[in-house]
Amino acid sequence: MKKIFYRSCFLIAIVTILTIVVFKLKKNKYENIASKELSIANNEILNGNLNIGISTLNGIILRFPKTLSSYQAKLIKSDILVKENKYKEAINTLNNLLSNCKLKNIKSIAKIRIIYIYDMLKNYDKTILYSKKFIEENNNHFLTKNIYLNLAESYVKIKMKNKAIKTFNEIIVKYPETKEAKISKNRINEINYIN
């Protein structure tokens, strides 16, 4: 009886290991194919064949949804949409990426692009909302101080002087020996001088 039990456990272990190996090989195969197609899409876009490039990006997004190449395809597609002034579609593409991607660095890039788009559109309420979320979730990201600075400037643009000064002061405290701190000190002086 024990021999049958041990043999069964051994067979289950082997089947499990083989299943994992096959799954990883299949996943790598899909990633490789998607990566090759992403290179083709980039070449088409760089050669001026925008429609073919976008079509290839859409194919990657549809056929290989959970791959790094698909996430990169969505980032590239959103950039193209911004250049074509299709801001709502770009934001939808980036929000779709945020909801489907688990990679923190890719999500950070998508959030920064959303902030950039809202800032470009002068939608400072959304710029502020996404900036605050980014700062809260990405405290150690190398671009956090830039997002902080943009947040403070957004407050200035909507005439929220006290919040702007408070945010500039946070930058000075959190990043004392940086160019962002120096800019913040100058901006506080300018705001106080104007008023």
Q: Are 76 and 82 in contact (CB under 8 A)?
A: no
pLDDT-derived band of residue 140, with 50, 70 and 90 as boundaries? confident
- For 184, residues 6+ apart whose C-beta sits below 8 A from its C-beta are 149, 152, 168, 169, 171, 172
Q: Are residues 80 and 93 in the same domain?
A: yes
pLDDT-derived band of residue 28, with 50, 70 and 90 as boundaries? low
Q: Are residues 55 and 148 in the same domain?
A: no
State residue 188's pLDDT score: 93
Q: Are residues 53 and 36 in the same domain?
A: yes
Q: Are residues 20 and 48 in the same domain?
A: yes
pTM: 0.80
Instruction: Flag whether pLDDT at 1 surpasses 60.
Output: no
Question: How many separate domains does the chain show?
Answer: 2
Burial 133-161 (b: 16+ CB within 10 A, else e): ebbeebeebeebbbbbbbbbbbbbeeebe
Q: Are residues 87 and 103 in the same domain?
A: yes
Q: Are residues 110 and 129 in the same domain?
A: no
Read off the pLDDT of residues 52-75 as tens digits, 9 standing for 90 and up: 999 999 999 999 988 888 999 999
For residue 59, the enclosing domain spans 1-121
Average pLDDT value for residue range 161-180: 94
Which of 83, 100, 121 is where one domain is finished? 121
Q: Are residues 93 and 135 in the same domain?
A: no
Q: How far apart are CA 151 and CA 134, in angstroms?
A: 10
**DSSP conformation letters of 37-106:** HHHHHHHHHHTT-HHHHHHHHHHHHHHSTTSHHHHHHHHHHHHHHHHTT-HHHHHHHHHHHHHH---HHH
Q: Return the structure tokens found at 157.
A: 């643009």
Which CATH number is 110's domain given?
1.25.40.10
Q: How far apart are CA 75 and CA 45, in angstroms?
A: 14
State residue 19's pLDDT score: 46
Q: Are residues 115 and 140 in the same domain?
A: no
* Long-range contact pairs involving 61-65 (C-beta distance under 8 Å, separation at least 24): 63/34, 64/30, 64/31, 64/33, 64/34, 64/37, 65/100
Instruction: Flag whether pLDDT at 31 surpasses 90.
Output: no
Q: How far apart are CA 142 and CA 10, in angstroms?
A: 49
Which of 121, 144, 166 is where one domain is finished? 121
State residue 195's pLDDT score: 60
